[in-house]
Amino acid sequence: MVYGRHAAPSAPLLRVDGVSKGFPGVQALQGVSLQVDGGECLALVGENGAGKSTLMKILSGVYAPDEGQLSLNGRPLSLGSPRQAQDAGIAIIYQEFNLMPNLSVSENVFVGREPNAAGLVRRRAMRRQTRELLDQLGVALHPDAIVRDLSVAEQQMVEIAKALSLNARLVIMDEPTSALTETEVAALLRIVRGLKERGLGVIFITHRLDEVLAVSDRVTVLRDGQNAGELSTAEATPERIVRLMVGRNLGDFFRKEAAPSAATGRPALEVRGLGRTGTVRDAAAIVLHDVSLSVRPGEIVGLAGLVGSGRTELVRAVFGADPFDHGEVLVDGRAVSIRAPRDAIRLGIGLVPEDRKAQALILGLAIRENISLAGLGSLARFGVVRRGAERARARHFVDALSIRTPSLDQKVVNLSGGNQQKVVIAKWLSLRPKVLIMDEPTRGIDVGAKAEVHHLMSDLARQGVAVLMISSELPEILGMSDRVLVMRQGRIAGELARGDATQESIMALATGVAGGLSAA
């Protein structure tokens, strides 16, 4: 059985004409138009808040447009529910997967549509059909594997297999690579090309411009809910795309100044010989091995390395979120005891974690409440939070960080990714930290918001804050770091000065093929 093969129609597979959508106080889309042909990948890009998510919800039947028309294969298309979009052949794969973790791969692929006879599920047929789908994708997954045991990339393959099982003609992928390694990204892009070869249309939403250029045929740019422009990928460059998105040049995004002379003084944070043993599949494993590093006031130190190299484990141990077995942490040259995050906070250390939604924010609370979370003690009198002081603090940081919101009482869940990240940063800035650890500070936010976060980091360094930054994006590491430390297998594999660091030298240390480079 072959799924997802469709003859290319003469009319565009999907056509969107003059679509508008408004919500109370917000015009999310205004006259947006685009089209996708069968066998084509259209990249849809734009800043957070540009209207991409609203448009995708219209295409998936969640929202109805206020104005405009949709057509599929030249025929008018009216969608009143996600089920109608699914029946029309439109499948959407969200950044947060819609899978049942305790079910098997085959059960997830055919959930609600299980092949049956006389009311009994034909499990052998379901496994066989799932295997055929996975073979088409070139994925070595067992149909009986339980989804909760799969990696993020493997779960994504299950979502794509489910889309093919629905005989989808148009597959929409929303930020599909945000949590993948470089190897997994390459595998996903190969699968997208395979979908195109089968005649499917693909809408690929991403903030990563290298992926746009690698897999798409055309690029449609949204800005403030309107069409900002369209480019064929052959004529597109990162600079041209960025200018359409935000009206600024790509070169404006890394405005890092050299560390001031004060950064040569005593370290604000020092780690000596830190080690930790953890478990991997019930077996002991060294997570951190004699790690030593320092960060001085006014300095941004980049921490690079491949996924699994121990970067996040290191900063969590320093912050007191995870224990370590041996070694010591020094703040301002003095050995300190950090057994829990509250100890780190008391010492002037803040941590912006890599997963803001799960580890940094309470999504159902207001902006003002999230900003004040880490410093409630300073806002309380006799155990009662002074609301006026809380609002004043929140207003200061909303203005200082240009957080876009109609109200301090807006729930954080309703903000864009970039504005959510600014709320996380504001929470720590309100405590005036000596050391700010930032783990993937610009993950999942658009290029305009990235530029604002980078500018903020430079401002903090100028004010004498010591910044330790983890990033998987090498341009960010190279553009923002005064020094680069590279981790591999739980160790510091090497240190590179700003002038010596290149993508090649960092990857050589990260992969263990450093050649002539000497590890620090």
Task: Concatenate the DSSP letters of all residues of 314-339 into one string.
Answer: HHHHHHTSS--SEEEEEETTEEE--S
Provide the β-strand partners of residue 283.
Answer: 280
Neighbouring CB atoms inside 10 A of 266's CB total 12
Q: At residue 206, does pLDDT exceed 90?
A: no
pLDDT category at 97 given cuts 50, 70, 90 is confident
Q: One fold for both 14-251 and 281-359+418-511? A: yes
- Which stretches within 8-103 are classed as H helix? 52-59, 82-88
Q: How far apart are CA 291 and CA 383, in angstroms?
A: 40
The confidence score (pLDDT) of residue 255 equals 58
Q: At residue 25, does pLDDT exceed 70?
A: no
Q: At residue 349, does pLDDT exceed 70?
A: yes
With beta carbons less than 8 A apart as the criterion, state whether 322 and 313 touch. Answer: yes
pLDDT category at 259 given cuts 50, 70, 90 is low
Q: How far apart are CA 213 and CA 232, in angstroms?
A: 10
Q: How far apart are CA 166 and CA 87, in angstroms?
A: 8
Q: How far apart are CA 402 and CA 405, in angstroms?
A: 9
Q: How far apart are CA 90 and CA 61, in angstroms?
A: 9
The confidence score (pLDDT) of residue 520 equals 36
What letter does residue 370 receive in the DSSP assignment? Answer: H
Q: At residue 4, does pLDDT exceed 90?
A: no
Residues with Cβ within 8 Å of 393's Cβ and at least 6 positions away in sequence, in order, are 368, 371, 372, 375, 379, 430
Assigned token pair, 376? 């409630």
In degrees and rounded to multiples of 5, residue 155 shows phi and psi of -65, -35
Q: Which of 20-24, 451-455, 480-484 has the highest mean pLDDT?
A: 480-484
Q: Dihedral of the CA atoms 397, 402, 403, 404 (nearest 10)?
A: 140
Q: At residue 478, does pLDDT exceed 50?
A: yes
Question: Is the whole model's pTM more than 0.75, yes or no?
Answer: no
Q: At residue 447, does pLDDT exceed 70?
A: yes
Task: Determine the average pLDDT of the residues in 243-256.
Answer: 64
In degrees and rounded to multiples of 5, residue 74 shows phi and psi of 85, 0
Provide the β-strand partners of residue 351.
Answer: 437
Q: How far apart are CA 56 and CA 68, in angstroms?
A: 15
The confidence score (pLDDT) of residue 153 equals 77
**What's at 358, amino acid-wise?**
A
- Mean pLDDT lowest for which of 258-262, 402-406, 472-476? 258-262
Any idea which residue has 């070869």 for tokens?
197
Q: At residue 518, does pLDDT exceed 50?
A: no
- Mean pLDDT lowest for which of 53-57, 306-310, 363-367? 306-310
Burial 76-91 (b: 16+ CB within 10 A, else e): ebebeeeeebbebbbb
Of residues 424 and 284, more confidently modeled = 424
Task: Determine the average pLDDT of the residues in 204-212.
Answer: 86
Phi-psi region of 382 (alpha: psi -120 to 50; beta: other; left: phi over 0): left
Q: At residue 286, does pLDDT exceed 80?
A: no
With beta carbons less than 8 A apart as the criterion, state whether 487 and 304 touch. Answer: yes
Topology annotation, domain 281-359+418-511:
Rossmann fold (3.40.50)
Task: Determine the average pLDDT of the residues in 386-405.
Answer: 88
Neighbouring CB atoms inside 10 A of 113's CB total 11
Q: Which of 17-31, 166-180, 289-303 has the highest mean pLDDT?
A: 289-303
Task: Determine the average pLDDT of the residues in 277-306.
Answer: 80
pLDDT category at 481 given cuts 50, 70, 90 is very high
Task: Determine the average pLDDT of the residues in 132-151.
Answer: 85
Q: 3-state SS of 159-204? A: HHHHHHHCCCCEEEEECCCCCCCHHHHHHHHHHHHHHHHCCCEEEE
Of residues 188 and 71, more confidently modeled = 71
Q: At residue 279, does pLDDT exceed 60?
A: no
pLDDT category at 223 given cuts 50, 70, 90 is confident
Task: Determine the average pLDDT of the residues in 271-275.
Answer: 96
Q: At residue 490, does pLDDT exceed 50?
A: yes
Residues with Cβ within 8 Å of 74's Cβ and at least 6 positions away in sequence, in order, are 9, 10, 11, 12, 15
The confidence score (pLDDT) of residue 247 equals 66
The confidence score (pLDDT) of residue 503 equals 81
The confidence score (pLDDT) of residue 474 equals 81
Q: At residue 429, does pLDDT exceed 80?
A: yes
What ranges do the domains of the chain cover? Answer: 14-251, 281-359+418-511
The CATH number given to 14-251 is 3.40.50.300
The confidence score (pLDDT) of residue 250 equals 53
Helix (H, G, I), strand (E, B) or coil at 109: helix
Could you read off the pLDDT of 63-88 as tens digits, one per residue? Answer: 999 999 999 999 999 999 998 998 99
Percent of the chain with pLDDT over 70: 89
Task: Determine the average pLDDT of the residues in 372-396.
Answer: 84
The confidence score (pLDDT) of residue 94 equals 80
Please report the sign of the dihedral spanned by the C-alpha atoms of residue 130, residue 133, residue 137, residue 140. Answer: positive
